[in-house]
């Protein structure tokens, strides 16, 4: 199955809510924590905007504000609305993608020194915990102040539950890795805490 384009979905979805400049789209992606499911550099955004405009899914209108340089304001077209509906269904129907950097690293985890592996698991746990704190902040402080939060709340709740599950798994992985390190140290010693000569 072809993986649907999250970049196009986000652009069309945001433009459906209101016309915007490229910079405004990037800012919205950042402010609304969309970086969790879309990697969008400015160059990628503008390439996608040009492609969607070429396909007739959006229109661009030049605007000038005072002495500022001219910039493009983008709006969705009826063809873009239809494309958005298709992308939305494609995303809802897509099978989960379990490929990620951690799975790739775990495949060859035995190549890392145990201390380094353990340290990275702890580092990852701190990173995930920080994201969980941010998700909780969004749920308790930000979303209650925003109108029409039903789908935003669903997204953040899903994110928070995934993060909580990741922390639970990391705790087990850290314990197992510590046990593995202790077992390796005992196997390498003479039983009295001294390393066996090679």
Round to the nearest angstrom and report the end-to-end CA distance of the chain: 53
Residue-number span of the structural domain to which 136 is assigned: 101-188
Q: How many C-beta neighbours within 10 Å does residue 156 have?
A: 22
Domain boundary among 93, 128, 160: 93
Buried b (16+ CB within 10 A) or exposed e, 95-106: eeeeeeeeeeee
Residues 113 and 79 in one domain: no
What's the CATH number where 82 sits?
1.10.10.10
Please list the residues that pair with 189 across neighbouring strands. Answer: 195
Residues 108 and 87 in one domain: no
Q: Report residue 145's pLDDT band, with 50, 70 and 90 as the boundaries.
A: confident
Q: What is the pTM of this model?
A: 0.70
Q: How many domains does the chain have?
A: 2
Task: Read off the pLDDT of residues 7-33 as tens digits, 9 standing for 90 and up.
Answer: 999 999 999 999 999 999 999 888 887
Residues 48 and 123 in one domain: no
Residues 89 and 120 in one domain: no
In a domain, 193, yes or no: no
Residues 89 and 105 in one domain: no
Residues 165 and 126 in one domain: yes
Domain boundary among 66, 93, 120: 93
Residue 72 pLDDT > 50: yes
Task: Read off the pLDDT of residues 120-136 as tens digits, 9 standing for 90 and up.
Answer: 999 999 999 999 998 89
Residues 89 and 110 in one domain: no
In a domain, 10, yes or no: yes
């Amino acid at each position: 199955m072809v993986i649907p384009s999250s970049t196009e979905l986000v652009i069309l979805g945001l433009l459906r809510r209101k016309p915007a400049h490229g910079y405004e789209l990037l800012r919205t992606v950042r402010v609304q924590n969309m970086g969790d499911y879309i990697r969008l550099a400015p160059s990628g955004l503008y390439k996608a905007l040009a492609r969607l405009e070429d396909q007739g899914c959006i229109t661009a209108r030049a605007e000038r504000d005072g002495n500022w340089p001219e910039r493009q304001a983008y709006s969705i077209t009826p063809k873009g609305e239809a494309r958005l509906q298709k992308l939305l269904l494609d995303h809802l129907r897509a099978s989960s993608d379990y490929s990620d950097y951690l799975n790739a690293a775990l495949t060859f985890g035995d190549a890392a020194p145990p201390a380094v592996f353990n340290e990275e698991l702890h580092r990852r746990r701190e990173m995930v915990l920080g994201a969980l704190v941010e998700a909780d902040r969004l749920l308790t402080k930000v979303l209650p102040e925003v109108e029409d939060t039903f789908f935003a709340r669903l997204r953040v709740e899903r994110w928070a539950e995934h993060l909580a599950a990741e922390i639970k798994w990391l705790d087990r992985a850290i314990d197992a890795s510590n046990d593995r390190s202790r077992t390796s140290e005992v196997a390498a010693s003479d039983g009295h805490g001294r390393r066996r000569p090679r």
